Amino acid sequence: MARQAVKHRDVDWDFADLGMKETQASTHFFHHWTAKFIPQIPRRLIEMYARPGDVVLDPFMGCGTTLVEAARLGHDTWGTDINPLAVKIARAKTAGIRHKVVGEFIEWLDEAAGRPERHLARSRHLFDGSDEWFREDVARAIKAILNRARRLGGNTRNFVEVGLSDLLKGMSNARMDRTMPTLPDSPRYRDKKHYHRPVDNDTREVNVFARVRAQLRRMEHALREFRDEATGSAAPVQHDARRLCSLGRTAQVAITSPPYWSAQNYQKLHSLSFRTLGLKEPGRAEIGRRAHDYLPDMGSVVEQLTQVLDGYFALVIGESQDGIHEAVRDQCLSAGMRLVDTSTRRLSNQAFFAKAVKRELVYVFACSR
Ligand SMILES: C[S@@+](CC[C@H](N)C(=O)[O-])C[C@H]1O[C@@H](n2cnc3c(N)ncnc32)[C@H](O)[C@@H]1O
């Protein structure tokens, strides 16, 4: 079994001084994902609990933060998420691509950015109702990029789609000051989040080709560095964590932050990406949609973990008034795990949760099959 080198109380878990440079390092900036880990948390837990050669698992991997850090630290790693967009992002952040082909794609975007009108697709249709969300020139440029990306196939196509997806909301008519995609009452409005800046959706500059080019350039560079550095392999899988065992994989260290009961609706938050990329929504398989299923669902995941894991399980969970964090901790104990350490962290650098959840608990259990 892995060894815990340092007691939790001897280290600072708040990471309050970190800026974007640190939290968005490596491939972590590829795509936003609500309630994602700051990478320093899984990194520290891996350093504390994993021995060389240990496999690291994240059953609720989201956009793959744990997988990126585990692979960077030399561990083979796998993760599951029910959400197809999460899996696409985790794959884009870790999987090898054809760099030459992406380079050529970027050259094409460069040319198209200089003369957008020549490169627009004929159709502006992205999904039913997309005309409301995207101005015609914007929609036709997005369509042109998607059409061209379709020819690439595999991880390379996925990489380009993820780069585009991250920019969709900012290029759409959605209000800039809302996290959830929301259309303004009028094309002209004040963006309350950014100093009451006036916005005019009919006339504002949106060079889709230039924006995607800049994003892909950064991503390509970061992925190259990640692949040079990461000696571990990463396998993000679209799968239900309540059925972990059916994958036939095992691990020595699991690190996760579970979905919170009714805290987010990832499908709505990412609805523009889902619809533009034609992804199937996970619907009820997503844990947290219905309050009364939350604890039974989490109980199933914990039970499955005891069958695939032989080592340590780190559970990073928001402190809630209704004591859900303690209920999940108790499920782990009832499943035969042994609590080896606990710490509390203040959520100063996570904008979304700082509002609803002030503190997070990091519970670490020893778990043997
Ligand atoms: C708090 S987020 C995890 C974020 C992650 N730590 C990261 O850094 O991106 C919880 C995740 O659980 C996923 N999830 C919800 N129900 C699931 C299920 N039944 N099986 C697997 N994943 C699920 C959600 O899609 C979401 O991405």
pLDDT at residue 353 above 70? no
What is the rounded average pLDDT for all residues in the chain?
94
Ligand 1 centre distance from Cα of residue 258 (Å): 6
Q: CB of 152 closer than 6 A to ligand 1?
A: no
Q: Which is nearest to 46 in space by CA: 68, 14, 69? A: 69
pLDDT bucket at 109, cuts 50 / 70 / 90: very high
Ligand 1 centre distance from Cα of residue 61 (Å): 6
**Arithmetic mean of pLDDT, 125-145:** 98
**Arithmetic mean of pLDDT, 83-100:** 98
Ligand 1 centre distance from Cα of residue 318 (Å): 14
Q: Which of 27, 58, 60 to mutate to test the pocket of ligand 1 (most atoms within 8 A of CB)?
A: 60
321 vs 329: which has the higher pLDDT: 329
Q: From the alpha carbon of 86, which atom of ligand 1 is closest?
A: 27
Q: Which is nearest to 246 in space by CA: 1, 56, 59? A: 59
pLDDT at residue 3 above 80? no
Ligand 1 centre distance from Cα of residue 286 (Å): 8
Q: CB of 241 closer than 6 A to ligand 1?
A: yes
The protein residue with its alpha carbon nearest to ligand 1, atom 26, reads: 62
User: pLDDT tens digits for 280-327?
Assistant: 988 889 998 888 899 999 999 999 999 999 999 999 999 988 899 999
User: pLDDT tens digits for 260-288?
Assistant: 876 568 888 999 999 999 999 888 899 98
Q: CB of 341 closer than 6 A to ligand 1?
A: no
The protein residue with its alpha carbon nearest to ligand 1, atom 7, reads: 36
Ligand 1 centre distance from Cα of residue 165 (Å): 19
List the domain boundaries for the chain. Answer: 8-84+231-367, 99-224
Q: Decide which of 1.10.1760.20, 1.10.340.30, 3.40.50.620, 3.40.50.150 is the CATH code for 8-84+231-367.
A: 3.40.50.150
pLDDT bucket at 170, cuts 50 / 70 / 90: very high
Element containing residue 139 per DSSP (H, E): helix 136-150
Contacts of 109 (CB under 8 A, 6+ apart): 145, 209, 210, 212, 213, 216
User: pLDDT tens digits for 7-26?
Assistant: 777 788 999 889 999 999 99
Q: CB of 101 closer than 6 A to ligand 1?
A: no
Question: Which of helix, strand or coil describes residue 276?
Answer: helix
Q: Which of 27, 29, 37, 81 to mutate to test the pocket of ligand 1 (most atoms within 8 A of CB)?
A: 81
Q: CB of 257 closer than 6 A to ligand 1?
A: yes
Whole-prediction pTM value?
Answer: 0.95
DSSP for 142-180 reads HHHHHHHHHTT-HHHHHHHHHHHHHHHHHHSSS-TT-SS
pLDDT score at 356: 65
Q: CB of 287 closer than 6 A to ligand 1?
A: yes
User: pLDDT tens digits for 127-136?
Assistant: 999 999 999 9
| Beta pairing class for 56-58 and 251-256 | parallel
| Beta pairing class for 309-318 and 188-191 | unpaired
Rounded to whole angstroms, how far apart are CA atoms 177 and 181? 10
Q: Is 93 exposed, middle or buried (0-12, 13-18, 19+ CB in 10 A)?
A: buried
Query: CA 160, 161, 164: angle at the middle one, nearest 5?
Result: 90
**Arithmetic mean of pLDDT, 78-83:** 97
pLDDT score at 354: 44
Element containing residue 133 per DSSP (H, E): helix 130-133
Residue in this structure with the two tokens 């035969």, named with its chain if needed: 336
Ligand 1 centre distance from Cα of residue 91 (Å): 15
